């Protein structure tokens, strides 16, 4: 990371003035207070999980609601909220979501060794909140995706410091709440951290198995939710899905070829992420870009796949901006985000039912940009203090020892 006055990186990592922090506080405060005033139950998506817990407490099955797409462990985790009045949730959930997003950004900054008091720390979060529409949408929805937004950079921060078992525990807990970070198991396989991988798998497995025994329909996730996720047969959900398998059929492409195309793109993304892990560069940068590549590959095939899922990877990539060779320094990284600018009216794409086309462009463009960077963008770039001629695969083997 360059800190000289002649480089923009030096300007970004120097301390931010009080006016920047005041502006950031005003923006986040306005977003949070507005959400408190207009939402019910802490947000529509949060209400789905809380209502599932209330249904269970009343003796019913949470999986009677086809839009409850979580493991049984999430039902038990939502019980504390289910015991609170909705008026209280209206006040507590939006600030909690905003705080989790800010903490995730802080972990991403520390992963890249960027000071928390820097200009990038203030301007980056300000830009995400004001210039990336899914940020505000996630706060208003109260979606549990926010757990992954916090857990992923925290996991990578721990891994960058050699605490892989703790990193596996963090991901395991996040998967128990929402299975969004399940693809991160591949990163632990790439790094050959088998004990940490075992922790990652054991935590949600044990939590879900224990919670399922308490439900009237212990196999509901497999008999109801899993078929729904595999087929995505829901007219309402399909309007907001951004994966190629959901968007291309709306453009006239048959479902089977669309699904195959998404699967092939996801497989290519995993290969590129694997190449990045064994490529050159500092460990934090490789961790961030490998994880982003894996998650974007998963979003290309997951059903459903929403635009706010991008908040899981975007802070990781944006926080690496001060480093030479970062993905965030590529033009297509920024061009991919243009459709997500709030307040811009796009001809023929403005209705909510067509928003998925903009989201699909952002997802695919960002996935291609990261994949291309993983394969070609870091050739010849070596980490600080890394001797010439050190093969990426050999270095990875040493790190995993």
Strand partners, 15: 118
Name the 3-class secondary structure at 15: strand
Task: List pLDDT tens digits, range 3-16.
Answer: 444 466 788 899 99
Amino acid 97: pLDDT: 96
The angle subtended at Cα 370 by Cα 378 and Cα 306, nearest 5°, is 160
Task: List pLDDT tens digits, range 182-211.
Answer: 999 999 999 999 999 999 999 999 999 999
Instruction: Yes or no: say if 287 and 112 are a contact pair by the CB < 8 Å rule.
Output: no
3-state helix, strand, coil in the chain (%, to 5): 70, 0, 30
236 exposed, middle or buried (CB, 10 Å; 0-12, 13-18, 19+)? exposed
Amino acid 251: pLDDT: 87
pTM: 0.90
Task: List pLDDT tens digits, range 147-188.
Answer: 999 999 999 999 999 999 999 999 999 999 999 999 999 999
Percent of the chain with pLDDT over 90: 67
CA distances from 274 to 188, 243, 270, 304 (A): 11, 22, 6, 25
pLDDT at 41 over 90: no
Encoded tokens for 274: 């694997």
Provide the total of helices (H) and of strands (E) in the chain, helices listed first.
Answer: 22, 0
> What is the rounded CA–CA span in Å between residue 291 and residue 157?
12
pLDDT at 396 over 50: no
């Amino acid at each position: 990371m360059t800190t000289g006055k002649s480089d923009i990186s030096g300007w970004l990592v120097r301390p931010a003035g009080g006016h920047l922090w005041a502006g950031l506080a005003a923006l986040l405060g306005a977003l949070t207070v507005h959400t408190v005033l207009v939402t019910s139950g802490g947000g529509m998506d949060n209400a789905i999980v809380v209502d599932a817990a209330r249904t269970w407490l009343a003796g019913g099955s949470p999986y009677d609601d086809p839009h409850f797409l979580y493991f049984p462990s999430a039902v038990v985790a939502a019980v504390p909220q289910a015991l609170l009045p909705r008026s209280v949730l209206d006040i507590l959930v939006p600030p909690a979501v905003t705080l989790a997003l800010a903490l995730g950004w802080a972990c991403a900054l520390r992963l890249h060794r960027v000071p928390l008091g820097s200009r990038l720390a203030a301007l980056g979060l300000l830009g995400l909140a004001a210039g990336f529409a899914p940020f505000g949408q996630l706060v208003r929805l109260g979606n549990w995706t926010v757990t992954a937004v916090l857990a992923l950079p925290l996991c990578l921060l721990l891994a960058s410091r050699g605490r892989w078992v703790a990193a596996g525990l963090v991901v395991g807990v996040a998967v128990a709440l929402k299975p969004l970070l399940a693809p991160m198991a591949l990163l632990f396989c790439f790094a050959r951290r088998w004990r940490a991988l075992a922790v990652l798998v054991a935590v949600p497995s044990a939590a879900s198995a224990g919670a399922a025994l308490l439900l009237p329909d212990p196999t509901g996730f497999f008999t109801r939710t899993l078929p729904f996720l595999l087929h995505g047969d829901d007219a309402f959900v399909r309007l907001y899905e951004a994966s190629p398998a959901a968007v291309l059929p709306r453009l006239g492409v048959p479902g089977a070829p669309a699904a195959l195309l998404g699967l092939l793109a996801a497989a290519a993304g995993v290969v590129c992420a694997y190449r990045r892990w064994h490529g050159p560069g500092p460990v934090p940068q490789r961790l961030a870009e490998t994880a982003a590549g894996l998650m974007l590959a998963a979003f290309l095939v997951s059903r459903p796949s929403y635009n706010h899922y991008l908040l899981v990877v975007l802070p990781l990539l944006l926080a690496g901006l001060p480093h030479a060779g970062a993905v965030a320094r590529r033009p297509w990284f920024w061009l991919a985000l243009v459709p997500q600018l709030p307040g811009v009216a796009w001809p023929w794409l403005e209705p909510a039912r067509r928003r998925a086309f903009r989201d699909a462009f952002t997802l695919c463009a960002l996935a291609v940009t990261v994949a291309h960077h993983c394969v070609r963008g870091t050739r010849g770039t070596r980490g600080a203090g890394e001797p010439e001629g050190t093969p990426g695969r050999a270095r990875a083997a040493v790190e995993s020892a």
